[in-house]
Every structure is written in structure tokens, then in C-alpha cells.
Amino acid sequence: MKKDSYFFRAVIYAMQNDKVLLVDMKKPKESTSLDPWLGRVVALADGQHTIQELIDFLASQYPNGAPANLADTVESVVKRLQETHVVHLSDEPVDLPYYLAIPANEQDPEKARALIEKDGFIAG
């Protein structure tokens, strides 16, 4: 995996306390809660940061030093999210549309629906 690739989410997500949920706009009450590692990467997948920047950021969260396998773990998580089409990689930064850029529970629902329809984005 190229660590200089930018990673970005391709799904609508929401935040519920400290949990990240994948949102199906057709059935918003049936959102899927992600495991903490997956959720953290999805929440950080803004298209403006590389995988190496993600690794560096996560490493900085360990006051006594990051685990030796942190980079491998992050790459594994990103790969898993890629395989399920939740996250994509790009050689260049990616500007996310409104409905992917911020959590669904922080969006104006009418604006989000209008933009989703305009863009032809199929949620879930």
C-alpha cells in the first residue's frame, strides 16, 4: 500500500457518542455501528490526508509510544475498508461533497438529500 495515497470515505456516516455509524439514507434508523478501529479511520478519511499522515497522527495518540505494529494495523484497516468500498485511495487530495464531508447528524437533511439527488449518489 502506498503510504503517500490520500484516503477518503465513500459512504455517509454519523457520530453517536464515541461510535461511528454507517448510514443508509433510505433506512437511517438501521445504521451500522463500526468497530472502533474501523470507525476511527472512516471518521478521519477526509480526502485531505495521506495514509502516512494517518499513521503519524494515530502514533501521536500514544503517550508512551505507539505499538510496533501500528503501521501494519492501520494498513490492514484501510485495506479492509477499501475492500468493502467504504474508503477509497487517491494520488491527489479529494474534496468530499457535503453529504460525505461531515457526519449526517450534523448536516442539514434537506440540503444533503438535494445534493445526493443532484449528484446521483446512491447511499447504502
Could you report the per-residue pLDDT of 59-113, keeping only the tens digit for each?
A: 999 999 999 999 999 999 999 999 999 999 999 999 999 999 999 999 999 999 9
* pLDDT the model gives residue 30: 80
- Please compute the mean of the pLDDT values over residues 39-61 and round it to a whole number: 97
* pLDDT the model gives residue 123: 53
Could you report the per-residue pLDDT of 30-42, keeping only the tens digit for each?
A: 888 999 999 999 9
In whole angstroms, give the CA distance from residue 100 to residue 112: 9
- What's the CATH code of the domain at 35? 3.90.930
What backbone phi and psi angles, to 5 degrees, belong to 9? -80, 150
Which pTM value belongs to this model? 0.90
Overall domain count for the chain: 1
124, part of any domain: no
Please name the amino acid found at residue 39.
G
1, part of any domain: no
